[in-house]
Each structure stands twice: as C-alpha cells, then as structure tokens.
Amino acid sequence: MDVIRLSKELIGKKLVSCFDGKRTAGIIVETEAYLGEIDRASHAYGLRRTARTEVMFREGGLAYVYLCYGIHHLFNVVVSPKGIPHAILIRGLEPVEGIDRMLKRCNKSRLDRTLTSGPGSLTRALGITTEQTGISLIRNTPVWIEDSKNTIPSGRILSLTRVGVEYAKEDALLPYRFLLEGNPYVSKGKGI
DNA sequence: CCGTCGATCTCCT
DNA sequence: GGAGATCGACGGG
C-alpha cells in the first residue's frame, strides 16, 4: 500500500456523513500521511499499541478518530493491511452538501473558510466524533468517502511538511502534507 | 494584525 | 506532571 500516493488520491474525493438521514459533505482538499512503525510523528511509531490506536492495526478502510488536546476530534483513514498501522489525516474540506446543518453544528451564521478548514473544525462540521472510531468507511455507516463527480476543485497538489509534529525530529521534515494550491479551505500552517 | 492562553483527554515519564 | 497530528477568545499595538 502506497500511503503517499493514496494521500494525494484522496484529495478531490468527497467525505460524507449522514446522521438522522441528513447528509453533510465536503471535498477533501488537504491530507497528511502517517507512516506507522517508521514514522516518529505517528501514534503507532515503533508499533506502539494502546487502546486508542488499536484500530490503526486493523485492516484498511476503517476510521481512526481520536481526541486531540482533550477537545478536538481528528479523523483519519486507516489504509493498510492488518498489522501495518498507516493512516491518513484529513485536514481540510471544501463544503458542498448540508452547509446549513454544518453551520448549525459549529454555531456559525455565515459560511467562511473556518467552517471546514483544519482537522478539528471539519469533524465538528460533519458531526464526527470518537464514537465513529473503528467504523468501516466503505460499508453502510454514518461516515464514508465517495467519488465526487461534478464538483472537483481545480488546483495543483502541493507537498509540504506536516503541521504540529516538530517533536518528530528528522521525520518532521518529510513532505507528507498534501493540499490543493490556493484552495481557501486548506488549513493555516507554515508554508501556506 | 499579532501573540498568548485556556480547554481538559490520552499516553508517557 | 507534561506534552500533544488544535482552535478560538482575548488583549495589545
């Protein structure tokens, strides 16, 4: 499984949630690859296993959602065969469906880039929480990823260093952050 | 516009 | 006890 290639391929696809029969969705415009065992920035570095990260060691196609700083729910796609804990963090969405419902979830009255820019903001907008960790993203579940037929945003894919992983030493320099150049819904961070 | 700080969960030391 | 794959409120310039 080529996590780097898949991280780029996820850009332009649609992340969808559906709770109470109501869809909310956005086009993925920013991702980060986390390469499990060999990546100091990964929760699974050195094959370290905890209750929280156990889902990363399961088969690809599952959601890994964890709580960051005690507040923010961060959504990842587990992408590799069983035992290989690679994951892709979704960091930015361009909202396309159910915007009113997203605004309500975020206590906002108007759409602007802050609705779904950044990994903690987009989960709040879609209603994704740690309750969804471990669910399948390809079967019939409240959260999944699908091809976006009509609404594919344009732009070149840039590769930059990842955000907030300075502690990862030399791995902090790896160009494992991917985003659509110029898209307003990419997160703030160095290099942008 | 900018920097600082609080929120308060999980895991490591 | 401390830091982290973060965000938004607040205060000063």
Residue-range domains of chain A with CATH: 3-180 (3.10.300.10)
Nucleotide B8, nearest residue via CA and C1': A70
Q: Distance (Å, rounded) from C-alpha A136 to C-alpha A152?
A: 24
Which 56-95 positions of A have CB less than 7 A from strand B? 66-67, 69-71
Position A188 scores a pLDDT of 85
Position A190 scores a pLDDT of 64
Give the tens place of pLDDT for each residue, A124-169. Answer: 999 999 999 999 999 889 999 999 887 677 789 999 999 999 999 9
How far CA A186 is from CA of A8, A23, A108, in Å, comes to 14, 22, 19
A149 or A171: whose pLDDT is higher? A171
Mean pLDDT rounded to a whole number for chain A: 95
Position A192 scores a pLDDT of 66
Q: What is the pTM of this model?
A: 0.96
Nucleotides on chain C that have an atom closer than 7 A to a protein CB are 3-8
How far CA A175 is from CA of A25, A77, A87, A124, A127, in Å, comes to 27, 19, 15, 27, 29
